[in-house]
Amino acid sequence: MKQKKSGMFKYYLKEAAKCWQLYVLLIPALLWAIIFAYYPMYGVIIAFKDYKIRQGILGSPWASPLFKYFTEFFSTSIAVNAIKNTIVISLESLVIAFPIPVIFALLLNQVRSKRATKAIQTISYAPYFMSNVVVVSLISVFFSANGVVNGIITSTGNKEVLFTSVPEWFRTLFIGTNIWQTMGFNAVIFIAALTAISPDYYEAATIDGASRFQRVLYIDVPMIMPTVILMLILQVGNIMNVGYEKAYLMQNGSNTIVSELISTYVYKVGLQTAQYSFATAVGLFNSVANFIILVIANKVAKKVSDISIF
């Protein structure tokens, strides 16, 4: 038995040696993974240490108690609020923004002129090429007190709304503009799935007297379901990382109560006030929570629909 095992090992080694050139091709990407993905993962241990730059990761003393920075984080009201904000905005995005590209793809697929379909699709993902800074700049000029949106509101005799500074409007603007930015691009994958459906189904349905709407409902929707579920898992797997860059850009003194997310908070305490260990602990909490949610979503999807990402 033992001999067989070492024989297997030798066999693998020989096979690996045969493709050594492929390993050489992998070197740049592996170096990246080690330095910029896995080494920082090792670096999270400073969440359990009193990190001092001069002493380095290994040299810094362990925090006592070990979970000092985690308990510190959970005991602040800012933390609870940031966690709440992150979860609420993610869930709202998921429920409101996720179905829209699917619906858009289904409807676009029903447009009968091929040229119109192409033109609409091209237009639909224009915003995807704009940076968050540009988009937030657009928000700031359109929704300002003397912007065009308030121009329309006041011309109908209503009072102007301070969209960008009142907390109540933050999520609406954030999610609304997210839809604007990503709808077209996110729809691409569903459109591809729709064009792969065999025309035989439609012909058969038409002969049976199905209306257009029925064809969408009973052919298109079930056929793209696997793709939809796959995208849903991926989205859920990123739930704790919702667009913090955009949230940070949209943040101002008067809306932090709703716009402070875990990630924006990590940036502030970590890099602006240099509390490295504390900020790392907060970030680690975020990553772990996110990962657990992904694993659960994957498990549920596997059980319900037999579709999973791993």
Partner 1 sequence: MSKNKDVAVHKTKMKLSTGDKIFNTVNILIMAFICIVIVYPLYYVVIASMTDPVIVNSGRVLFYPVKPYFEGYKTTLSYMPLWTSYKNTIVYTLVGTLVSLVATIPAGYALSRKDLVGRRGLIFVFTFTMFFSGGIIPLYLTIRNLGIYNSIWAMVLPVAVSAYNLIVCRSFFESGIPDELLEASKVDGCSDFGFFFKIAIPLSSTIIAVMALFYATAMWNQFFNALMYLQDDSRMPLQVVLRNLVLMNQANQMGSSGDAMITKQKLAEQLKYCIVVVSAAPLLMVYPFVQKYFAKGVTIGAVKG
CA gap 260, 284 in Å, rounded: 17
User: Among 9-17, 61-69, 85-93, 165-173, which window interacts with partner 1 (CB under 8 A)?
Assistant: 9-17
Count residues binding partner 1 (CB under 8 A): 103
Contacts of 59 (CB under 8 A, 6+ apart): 52
Binding of partner 1 by 304 (CB under 8 A): no
Q: How far is the CB of 68 from partner 1 (least distance, A)?
A: 16
- Considering only 8, 91, 141, 300, the residue that binds partner 1 (CB under 8 A) is 141
Of residues 223-282, those binding partner 1 (CB under 8 A): 227, 230, 234, 237, 244-245, 248-249, 263, 266-267, 270-271, 276, 279-280
- Considering only 79, 102, 136, 239, the residue that binds partner 1 (CB under 8 A) is 136
Binding of partner 1 by 306 (CB under 8 A): no
CA gap 266, 61 in Å, rounded: 22
| φ/ψ of residue 133, rounded to 5 | -65, -45
Q: Which is nearer to partner 1, 33 or 80 (CB)?
A: 33
Q: How far is the CB of 128 from partner 1 (least distance, A)?
A: 8
Q: How far is the CB of 192 from partner 1 (least distance, A)?
A: 4
Residue 20, Cα to own-chain centre: how many angstroms? Answer: 36
- Considering only 60, 147, 255, 301, the residue that binds partner 1 (CB under 8 A) is 147
CA gap 177, 11 in Å, rounded: 56
Q: How far is the CB of 287 from partner 1 (least distance, A)?
A: 6
CA gap 96, 164 in Å, rounded: 21
Torsion-angle region of 209 (φ positive above 0: left; ψ -120 to 50: alpha; else: beta): left
CA gap 45, 47 in Å, rounded: 5
Neighbours of 84 (CB within 10 A): 14
CB of 20 closer than 8 Å to CB of 31: no
Binding of partner 1 by 125 (CB under 8 A): yes
Q: Which is nearer to partner 1, 39 or 218 (CB)?
A: 39
Of residues 61-80, those binding partner 1 (CB under 8 A): none
